[in-house]
């Protein structure tokens, strides 16, 4: 379950992909397929994907139990096999750029609409 709170002590990684608008839908599909590789990995908590309304960006928000769990993913054979399509179709040929960055939640404010579905 996605839990975005200041006190959950999770390791948060945001990965921003920049892409041509004509390629965004295909990249979303590739990322969705690759995302399932995270499920069995130790320490994986959640993944949320955001599509930029400008059709030029995708942001993937990953939560891990720890930095060590996140780091271990990069060399895990499950992720390497699943991420191969992403790298071969988009990253290596330069159709998309990928910028991962870790973040710490330092402040949170909830409004009256909290919990609205």
SS in 3 state form for 8-49?
CCCEEEEEEEEECHHHHHHHHHHHHHHHHHHCCCCCEEEEEE
Looking at the DSSP bridge assignments, the partners of residue 14 are: 61, 101
pLDDT of residue 109: 86
99 within 8 A of 16, measured Cβ to Cβ? yes
pLDDT digits (tens, 9 = 90+) for 61-84: 999 999 999 999 989 998 889 899
pLDDT of residue 105: 86
pLDDT of residue 108: 85
CA distances from 81 to 10, 29, 34, 50, 87 (A): 26, 16, 9, 23, 10
- Domains delineated in the chain: 11-103 (3.30.70.100)
Q: How far apart are CA 22 and CA 8, in angstroms?
A: 38
pLDDT digits (tens, 9 = 90+) for 22-66: 999 999 999 999 999 999 999 999 999 999 999 999 999 999 999
Residue 99 has pLDDT above 80, yes or no: yes
pTM equals 0.88
């Amino acid at each position: 379950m996605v839990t975005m709170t200041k006190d959950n002590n999770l390791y948060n990684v945001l990965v921003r992909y920049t892409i041509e608008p004509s390629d965004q839908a295909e990249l979303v599909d590739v990322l969705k397929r690759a995302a399932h590789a995270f499920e069995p990995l130790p320490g994986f908590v959640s993944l949320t994907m955001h599509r930029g309304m400008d059709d030029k960006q995708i942001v993937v928000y990953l939560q891990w139990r720890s930095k060590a769990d996140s780091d271990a993913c990069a060399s895990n054979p499950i992720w390497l096999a699943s991420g191969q399509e992403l790298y071969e179709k988009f990253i290596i040929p330069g159709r998309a750029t990928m910028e991962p960055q870790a973040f710490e939640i330092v402040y949170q404010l909830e409004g009256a609409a909290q919990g609205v579905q």
